[in-house]
Amino acid sequence: MAEFKLPDVGEGLTEAEIVTWKVKEGDTVTINQILVEIETAKSLVELPSPFAGLVQKLMVPEGETVAVGTPIIAIGDSSSAETPGGAHAGPTEQTESDPYLGMAEKAGAEQQAREVHSGDIDLSNPAASGSAEGESLVGRMKADRGAVRRVRRPAASVQTQAAFEPTGSAAPIELDEQDESDGPAVPATSAAAAAPAQPGNARVLAKPPVRKLAKDLGVDLTALAGTGPNGAVTREDVQAAQGGFETGAERLPRPRAADGEREWREPIKGVRKMMGQAMVRSAFSIPHVTEWVTVDATRTTEFVERLKSRREFRDVRVSPLLVLARAVMLAMRRTPEINSWWDDAAQEVVYKSYVNLGIAAATPRGLVVPNVKDAEQLSLLELAQALNALVETARSGKTQPEEMSGGTFTITNVGVFGVDSGTPIINPGESAILAFGAIRKQPWVVDDEVVPRQVTTLALSFDHRHVDGEKGSRFLADVAGILEDPAAALLF
């Protein structure tokens, strides 16, 4: 019988919570089959099995937090699972009657571990450990990001767009931003439409993001009465069926007290615990300075609408956040200190020629900040696709630890909550963070006349140890200038 021990999933994590068992005692499992979902201080992680056999025992209950290296599940040989008397005949009983059989079983377990090492599972991320000796195996199932489309580059583009487009690559997805459109509503697939009408297989009119939200929340679309046009199921219908309260991008579970209790306690753990520790460390070790600027973003919103009408952007969700992200990377060319880091231990400032752009995302388990790697190398279309993928993965709880490490600059889009702006706390390991407020129609003076314009507020917090007021102000002014007139990107 082999014991699968809680693996070290990287990033210096020492413990994890057992969230959901995907198997039960008596189940037969195969190599790479998902055994359990755990929550580390970084994210939710699915652990695949390094063994094939019969689940003999779940050694840790759901909801319990255990240290790395703790045995969590025992898996035995399924071929010898039952004795004539009906009881499980574990490897220990076999070994007592035939010591050579025990040696053979151990060799088999080691062979399985070698097979896992040799490529039976994805080796791109650290995840599972688990031979009987407790060595660490490498491998974790990647988050499902859906179908990937090839990026088709246009033969020509307008001057303003060309200024935003260096070369690069990324995977396509969907974004949760200030643009509230969900794309066209689509009926069930042709295969589903051709199938006979049965419970759970009925045609449902719903937009792709609504279908994704229903899947994430475990809501059966066929059981809902759509309130949208032509009876389409809307995001609000799904959220109402799930039963929770809105916090911007998604609904979170509503805390419930026991009958008669006026207050209750919940343990601080996992992602929320790590977030709290990081924010305290940052707030009391980095001298924050925050500057604000109010911007007429009317031309940016008009530019976004033009992008939506272009053929290559029709399958990508586009919003002003995309323009802001590009503006940030262009402004860094004039103020590289924004994309550097104060290494206090070495007493050095580390400058970076790459931009790992983080987007702060609220999830049911706390704030996470995944980042787009080498974002400065992506075209505008590829950046839009990458931002979509980042937010979708975060909302589904599938963000992996390595996707949240190595960030160089962060944008927190508080505008999705209807908030004008704030004083954000710098993410540890970075030197600045930019808060993007809600875009609202407000009176604005243009050529000595008061006219309605789309106005937003940006707030930049930066590390005053090496980013002085002149550099922070220049960077913020450059970003604001591009939002006011996207054609200004040609000047960078």
Whether residue 313 sits in one domain with residue 240: no
**Contact 423/291 with Cβ under 8 angstroms?**
no
Distance CA(128)–CA(45), nearest Å, equals 10
Do the strands 440-446 and 449-463 form a parallel or antiparallel pair, or are they unpaired? Answer: antiparallel
At 265 the three-state DSSP class reads coil
Do 82 and 171 reside in the same domain of the chain? Answer: no
Q: Which residue has the tokens 């499992």?
A: 29
Same domain, 394 and 301: yes
**Full-prediction pTM beyond 0.75?**
no
Could you tell me where the DSSP H helices lie in 137-189? Answer: 159-162
In whole angstroms, give the CA distance from residue 305 to residue 298. Answer: 11
In angstroms, rounded to a whole number, what is the distance separating the alpha carbons of residues 165 and 186?
31
Q: 452 and 427, same structural domain?
A: yes
One domain, residues 74 and 107: yes
Q: Which residues pair with 9 in a beta bridge?
A: none
Residue 486 lies in a domain: yes
Residue 144 lies in a domain: no
120 class by beta-carbon count within 10 Å (0-12 exposed, 13-18 middle, 19+ buried): middle
Query: In which domain, by residue range, is 424 found?
Result: 159-176+271-491
Q: In CATH, what number is assigned to the domain containing residue 205?
A: 4.10.320.10
Q: Do 242 and 291 lie in a common domain?
A: no
Confidence check: pLDDT of 110 > 50: no
Residues 79 and 165 in one domain: no
> Is the residue at 129 inside a domain?
no
Please give the helix or strand (H or E) that residue 4 lies within, else none.
Answer: strand 2-5
pLDDT in tens, 143-175: 343 444 444 444 444 444 444 444 333 333 334
pLDDT in tens, 176-220: 445 444 444 433 333 333 334 344 434 678 876 777 777 766 677
464 is catalytic: yes
365 lies in the same domain as 424: yes
pLDDT in the model for residue 301? 95
| Angle, CA of 486, 412 and 492, to the nearest 5° | 30
pLDDT per residue as tens digits for the range 196-208: 434 443 467 887 6
Residues 467 and 319 in one domain: yes
CATH of residue 68's domain is 2.40.50.100
Query: What total of structural domains would you count in the chain?
Result: 3
Q: Are 296 and 453 in contact (CB under 8 A)?
A: yes
Marked catalytic residue, from 117, 288, 464, 466: 464
In a domain, 345, yes or no: yes
Query: What value does the mean pLDDT take over residues 239-264?
Result: 53
Interval 306-335 mean pLDDT: 93
Please check whether residue 260 lies inside any domain of the structure. no
Return d(Cα 427, Cα 430) in angstroms, integer: 6
Radius of gyration of the chain (CA): 26
Q: Give residue 16's pLDDT band: very low, low, confident or very high (50, 70, 90).
A: confident
In this structure, are 241 and 384 located in the same domain? no
Give the angle subtended at the CA of 442 by the CAs of 440 and 443, to the nearest 5°: 165
Within a domain: residue 131?
no
Whether 346 and 415 have beta carbons less than 8 Å apart is answered as no
Q: Output the pLDDT for position 363.
A: 72
- Segment 242-269 shows an average pLDDT of 56
23 found inside a domain: yes
- What's the one-letter identity of residue 315? D
The whole-chain average pLDDT of the chain stands at 74
Residue 153 lies in a domain: no
> Which tokens is 147 given?
């179908």
